[in-house]
A = this chain, B = another copy of it.
Amino acid sequence: MNKLEFTLSAGPVEVSAATLAGLAKPIQYHYDEDFKDTFRRVQDKTAQIFQTKNDVIIMQGEAILALEGALKSLVTPGMKVLNLVQGIFGKGTGYWLKDFGADVAELEVGYDDAVTPEMVEEYLDAHPGIEMVCLVASETPSGTVSDVSRIGPICRDRGILTYVDTVSGVLGMEHRTDDWGLDLCVTGPQKCLGGAPGLSLVSVSQRAWDKMYANPAAPRDSYLSLIDWKEKWLGDGRFPYTPSVQDINGLEAALDQALAEGIDNVIQRHVDARELTKAGARAMGLEFWAVREDIMSACVTSIRLPDDVDNAAVRDLARSKYGVMFSHGQGAGNLIRLSHMGSTAGGFHSIVGLAALGRTLSDLGMKLDVGAGLEAALEVLGAQRA
């Protein structure tokens, strides 16, 4: 296997030197007032990227921890929930919902498509009594997005709680927790923020807290518990357990860089990277995974592979021969992802991605015009930077 030259994965992403320096700060005791101040400051900065005045909880584990803990805290037996499924993570939410005893309805489309606001609106109108809608803002494995900006208000206007998995959504697309009335949102640092994995960032509305407190099955005295964090830490200044000091420091470094750049600029950087990647992929002769372009996420561009080209083989060859690490679709389909996420959402990281993918696919027998693809991508980049 050749040496790794570029990590162009869909998270955890390569992080900046400043973020690595954050991770390497001296470890403080978690009850040092300095560290407690740091923790509170990091919460405030997280609230900024969530664009919320709601409580922010930082759970000490990868986003899946908060997704599980929050859902378990919100769901009561027999609760009527509408789950929107357009990819692997939405599908998984449904399994959990059933495990936790909800009465689940699903609006499901192909993993290369998106559930539209119209579908949601229509369903809710036809099915009164839904208490919660669950959705995934950005399905990372397949690179499609959900229109949270419209689905959120549709639910809010009907008094329906929203549970939003936006792990790769925040900073990779517009996300307005308060403006859109979103109740429970979860994101992670290792995606568009360009941070390290290991933390769950959660925003919780008062309505969501009320629901959890009314739920006798909501986890308490548990690693899964949001209520523990609310009562012990937010309420009382005591940590439910030892937090990951270094990860909090790394998160602050990543947040500082994003806030210094500006939230809108970070999002635009992702959009720009997608546009040049799309131009390059198209001109090279590649096909997009998504059935239509307006549902493609700004953080990964998913490429649909021909049936006879296996996505795992593509990833392995790109890595072993060319030292470039891609992500495939984690089972979402026969696709490969050109990521432009966090610190790799620049310009030339996408040129590397296109070149490495184009060359790898050529090695595997696909007929592509790699040169034309790269030239087209550079053309778009030139125009963006004009």
A4 touches B34 (CB 8 A): yes
Copies of this chain held together in the complex: 4
A381: chain B residues within 8 A (beta carbon): 322, 359
Contact mask for chain A residues 60-72; partner B; CB cutoff 8 A; 1 contact, 0 none: 1111110011000
A20 touches B24 (CB 8 A): yes
A375 touches B385 (CB 8 A): no
B348 touches A6 (CB 8 A): yes
Whose C-beta in chain B lies nearest to the C-beta of A358? B378
- Contact residue among B243, B346, B374 (Cβ-Cβ distance under 8 Å from A323): B346
Q: Let me know if A180 is at the binding interface, CB within 8 A.
A: no
Given A5-B346, A60-B61, A96-B221: A375 in contact with B371 (beta carbons within 8 A): yes
Q: Let me know if A31 is at the binding interface, CB within 8 A.
A: yes
Q: How far is the CA of A120 from the CA of B27 in the complex (A)?
A: 39
Contact mask for chain A residues 16-33; partner B; CB cutoff 8 A; 1 contact, 0 none: 010011011111111111
Shortest beta-carbon distance from A96 to chain B in Å: 7
Contact mask for chain A residues 198-232; partner B; CB cutoff 8 A; 1 contact, 0 none: 10000000000000000000000111100000000
A375: chain B residues within 8 A (beta carbon): 370-371, 374
Q: Let me know if A15 is at the binding interface, CB within 8 A.
A: yes
A358: chain B residues within 8 A (beta carbon): 378
- Contact residue among B27, B246, B322 (Cβ-Cβ distance under 8 Å from A347): B322
Residues 182-196 of A contacting B (Cβ, < 8 Å):
188, 190, 196
Q: Which 10 A-B pairs have the closest CB atoms?
A: A371-B371, A198-B244, A371-B375, A9-B29, A24-B24, A64-B241, A21-B21, A20-B24, A61-B61, A5-B346
Question: Can you report 9 residue pairs joining A to B where beta carbons are below 8 Å apart?
Answer: A2-B385, A12-B30, A17-B24, A17-B25, A27-B197, A61-B65, A197-B243, A370-B374, A370-B378
